[in-house]
Amino acid sequence: QVQLVESGGGLVQAGGSLRLSCAASGLTFSRAAMGWFRQAPGKEREFVAAISWSGGDTYYGRSAKARFAISRDNAKNTVYLQMNSLKPEDTAVYYCAARSNSNDYYFTRIYEYDSWGQGTQVTVSS
């Protein structure tokens, strides 16, 4: 059974930084493409960032470019999302997603992932 556990969310002032972590188990992490999505109240879940299983390819959603960085440590079965220069509009629940037994590429669509975490709340105050 695949488990994805996010951590690192919290309350931060605008302009601040947070680092989210997602610990994975129950899958061959080194062959899983990983992604981060977020969902704000009353809005649809949106793509934030993705990384291939080797870590060699990354891709960012429009809102994340130049401010966020996705990375992974296959030895620790963990994917990270470093978020800098946070804005109030970044407030959302952030979800980690995994695509098991993937080819070595990134994926940006919700339906391309087969496992999801429970999410971690990020709140950015103005």
Pairing of strands 68-73, 78-83: antiparallel
CA distance 115 to 88: 28
Position 98 scores a pLDDT of: 98
Position 21 scores a pLDDT of: 98
Task: Flag residues of the chain having pLDDT under 70.
Answer: none
Helix, strand or coil, per DSSP, at residue 113: coil
Residue 42 CB coordination number (10 Å): 5
Position 95 scores a pLDDT of: 98
Position 117 scores a pLDDT of: 98
Position 80 scores a pLDDT of: 98
User: 79 is written with which tokens?
Assistant: 């994917």
Position 3 scores a pLDDT of: 98
